[in-house]
Amino acid sequence: MSRVAVEDDRLGFEITSVAVDNRHRKVARFACIECAETIDVTIAPGGKMVPELLAQSARNHGWDVDAYRKNRIRCPAHTSKRRATDTDTELRRHEARMANLKPDVVPLREPTTDQRVMIRRLLEKHFDEGLGYYVEDWSDDRVAEEASVPRAVVERSREASYGPIRVSAETLAFKKQIAALRAKVNDQVTAVEQLADAVKGDAAAIRRQLDELDKRIGGTIKGAA
């Protein structure tokens, strides 16, 4: 159970303490604005708290979260009802965050307007938002290569506008193998059925020939008698 909850309007979550096996650990608690569902993300003891990394951990579990805005937190059940966020809006939000970084932190190189348009076009064409995976052989890396931007830019844009990847590349590879094997089996079944039809046709022709020979032989024997 929670012992302490720390409110901070600058964050999209509460910092609280929970008891696990008689030990307390500090967590970041994200609460869905649509229901009472919450998710706790462990904050490493003694480590530096990085809100965006905590938010990413929640996203990995299907949540739609913003590290700095509580009114954008939605659990997986309500993720499909989230307010649509385009790529430009998310990039502007990121730029605002970058402005608050310490001088020794190197900000991500932001894409140009043309690159943003290309990222959006490629995601719309090759990423299935409903199922949560790239179609064919596309990936964040390939989109980044096509748009000539860092992979992190594509990942951030996809997470914001189209949602997380819910089906791994390994799973998709297995699905392709299964589809290929199923197609091979279907082809072989079709070939066997065609061969069976051909054999039936040949057998019928041979029967007709035998019947004709029987008639001829029977007529010859009668004539000889």
Beta-bridge mates of residue 39: 30
Q: What is the C-alpha separation between 216 and 223, in angstroms, rounded?
A: 11
Give the pLDDT means over successive 10-residue stretches in the chain (225 positions). Answer: 52 87 86 91 82 91 89 84 51 61 58 92 90 86 92 91 80 71 84 84 86 78 57
Which residue in this structure is represented by tokens 């059940």?
77
Q: What is the pLDDT of residue 88?
A: 54
Q: What is the C-alpha separation between 125 and 78, in angstroms, rounded?
A: 24
Global confidence as pTM: 0.35
Q: What is the pLDDT of residue 222?
A: 56
Which residue in this structure is represented by tokens 């990413």?
56
Q: What is the pLDDT of residue 175?
A: 67
Q: What is the pLDDT of residue 36?
A: 84
Q: What is the pLDDT of residue 2?
A: 42
Q: What is the pLDDT of residue 31?
A: 94
Q: What is the pLDDT of residue 114?
A: 92
Which residue, among 109, 30, 44, has the nearest Cα to 72 in the 3D structure?
30
Give pLDDT tens digits for 27-46: 999 999 989 899 999 888 87
Q: What is the pLDDT of residue 154?
A: 92
First to last CA, the chain: 111
Give 167-176 contacts, CB < 8 A, sequence gap 24+: 167/131, 167/132, 167/133, 169/139, 172/133, 172/134
The strand order across the sheet containing 23-31 reads 5-6, 14-20, 23-31, 38-42
